[in-house]
Structures are given as structure tokens and as C-alpha cells.
Amino acid sequence: MIPPRTRKGMMLPPALLDLLPLGVVLCDADGELVHASPRALALLDVADAATVMSALQAGDFESAAQVPLRVTRHELGDPHQTLYLIEDRSAEVSAANLRDDAWRVMSHDLRSPLGAILTLTESVADGTLPPDPQTLQQVGHYAELALARADGVLRLLRADALRSEQFEAVSLQQIAWEASDACYAAARDRAISVRVDADAAGDDALVGGDVDALRRALTHLLENAILHGPAGQSVALTVADCDTHWRIAVHDSGHGPDATALSVLTGAQRIGRPRGLGLAFVRRVADRHGARIHCARGADGFTVGLELPKWAAEHAQA
């Protein structure tokens, strides 16, 4: 372990940094190493201070031990320091996160609506509540909630089971229109118009993938924009040519997901307890399809898109 440098005014105690589940490297204003946690040394596959900075780079890369890593850089205040967070992106860690998500929903999120149903039915049985339409409506509400959460777990597990050798050619124009149709009622209820701009990509916006998984992922992104963006506005769903990739994107005039939801969507280190499995499903589908998730927040709203490799001609011939 690298001993922490004594520095007046240091804002982040090394003992606290060493407790984090991800690797942490802290540098001063001159770019010199202040502290590196044991987890950081293990992930970077280095043993001393002389090699930490040379092995560190922002973005996605592989360590010397060929472990896929993601490093995010954060500028701190006074005194000026730079914090690097290092995340293990290996398949084993991703699978562990998936199991944690599924277990969380099965052990906690499902218990709440099922417990409410049990309480309502017992209250009707002992005469505390009348068996009227309002009580039945409450039971139905919680039953639908439980089914939706169970369905979320099954979708996530199915996404994890996707294999590229089983992929077929998928038309992004087709799933764009199908996602728009699936969200028609939600858009109508909030007076939101959904504009689909997929014709400019031509008739050959084909990618290799699982059509059902991609459709569900896009539908979830579109539904999020409709339900959480400003009412009475418009949402754009576009397909564009990006050289070796096709990009299918959703744009709305809102502020987009909060930091917790965005950390799930981008695959970054989790910030807080995620709510629901929809964005985790989108992230998993993107990973299985070799897709990049592009997020941008600007003055005109928020855009989220999937960039998927184009379906190669040799695939069609095969």
C-alpha cells in the first residue's frame, strides 16, 4: 500500500477512500500522487507510487492484467485536487451487479405490493374494510405493481442470457415505429406528440441483435421521456447513420434522469439505491449488443441513444 502524503487541508481522508468498493486515486494540483487505495493498486495491477500515474488514464481501457476498467476523473475544490474513480467492468462484476439488482427486487420491491395485497384481503376477511369496488381497485393496483416488478426481473435475466451467435438482422426503423405505437396511450394522456424521424436513414438501417430485447429497451427509453418530461411538449425518436454504427436516439425537452438513474444507464459506479430495473435492462441489452449508450444534456433538453454496429454484408450472405 502507498502511504498517504501528509498534506495540510486535505479534504478526503485516506482511510475513508480505502473503504470504497471501487479504486480511488487522489492527486494534487500539480498532478502528483497524494493517495492510492489498495483497490486501485489491485485493479491497475501496480505495486508502487512510481507506476500508478503511468498506468492511469481516463475512460475505458484494459489494465496490464487485461481487466476491463472504467476511470472517471473528478475535479475537487479548495485545495484543488483530482479524484480518479476506477471501476471493474469485467463480465464477472457485471453479472454480480445483475444478481444484486434481481435479488433486491425479489427480496424487497416485491414484498411491498404483496404485503399490501395480503393486508387488504385480511382486512376484508375480518370486516375492517368493506368488499367494495374501491378495495378491489386497491388490490388490483398492487397486483399489477407486483407483476410489473416480477416481469422486470425476468426481462433483466433474459437480457443477461442473450448471445451474439443467435442474433439476427434487426431494422431500427421497424423498432422505432413499434416503440412509438407502444407508447401512444402514455403520450396521449400527457398531450405529448412523438415524432419519428427514421426515413432519412434509408431502408437498410440494420443491426445484429435480438429484436424483442432492442424493442423493449427503446420502448423503455421513449416511455421515460414521455412520463418524466414536460407535458404538452414533443419527443423526437431518430435513426441516424454514424459511419460504422447506427444511432437510434430519444430526445425530449426535459432535464433527463437524475444522477442515480444516469449512473445505472451509463454503467458508471452506482450513486445511491437505484429504483426499478428498466434502466438496468437497457444497460444490459446495450452491453450484450456491443452498443454504446450516448447521453447528452443541453439547453434544449436531454438526448439518450444507442449506437449499434451495422449489420455487415457477410452476415446477410451467411
Q: Each residue of 53-105: pLDDT tens digit?
A: 878 876 777 777 777 887 888 888 766 888 888 887 776 666 666 666 666 66
What is the DSSP code (8-state) at residue 3? Answer: P
Lowest mean pLDDT among 46-60, 113-127, 209-223, 301-315: 46-60
What is the DSSP code (8-state) at residue 271? Answer: -
Residue type, position 271, single letter: I
Residue 49, Ramachandran bin (φ over 0: left; ψ between -120 and 50: alpha; else beta): alpha
Cα Dmax for the chain: 74
- CATH H superfamily, domain 164-317: Histidine kinase-like ATPase, C-terminal domain (3.30.565.10)
Please, are residues 118 and 58 in contact by the beta-carbon 8 Å criterion? Answer: no
Query: How sure is the predictor about 182, in pLDDT bands with cuts at 50, 70 and 90?
Result: very high
Q: For residues 11 and 47, which has the higher predicted lDDT (pLDDT)?
A: 47
Please, are residues 93 and 79 in contact by the beta-carbon 8 Å criterion? Answer: no
User: Which residue's entry shows cell 421521456?
Assistant: 225
The stretch 240-255 carries a mean pLDDT of 89
Query: How sure is the predictor about 106, in pLDDT bands with cuts at 50, 70 and 90?
Result: low
Residue type, position 234, single letter: S
**How many helices (H) and strands (E) are present in the chain, helices listed first?**
12, 12
According to the model, what pLDDT value does residue 98 have? 62
Architecture label for domain 14-89: 2-Layer Sandwich (3.30)
Which range scores top for mean pLDDT: 25-39, 139-153, 213-227, 259-273? 213-227
Nearest Cα to 279, choosing from 292, 296, 262? 262
The whole-chain average pLDDT of the chain stands at 80
Distance between CA atoms of 206 and 213, rounded to whole angstroms?
A: 15
According to the model, what pLDDT value does residue 107 have? 63
- Asked whether the predicted pLDDT for residue 174 surpasses 80, the reply is yes
Would you call the peptide bond into 79 cis, given omega within 30 degrees of 0 as the criterion?
Answer: yes
User: Which residue's entry shows cell 449499434?
Assistant: 308
- Domain ranges for the chain: 14-89, 92-160, 164-317
According to the model, what pLDDT value does residue 7 have? 41
According to the model, what pLDDT value does residue 314 have? 43
Query: How sure is the predictor about 202, in pLDDT bands with cuts at 50, 70 and 90?
Result: low
Distance between CA atoms of 158 and 284, rounded to whole angstroms?
A: 10
- Asked whether the predicted pLDDT for residue 250 surpasses 90, the reply is yes
Beta strands (DSSP E) in 20-88 are: 23-27, 33-36, 59-62, 68-75, 82-88
Element of type H or E holding 87: strand 82-88
- Asked whether the predicted pLDDT for residue 225 surpasses 70, the reply is yes
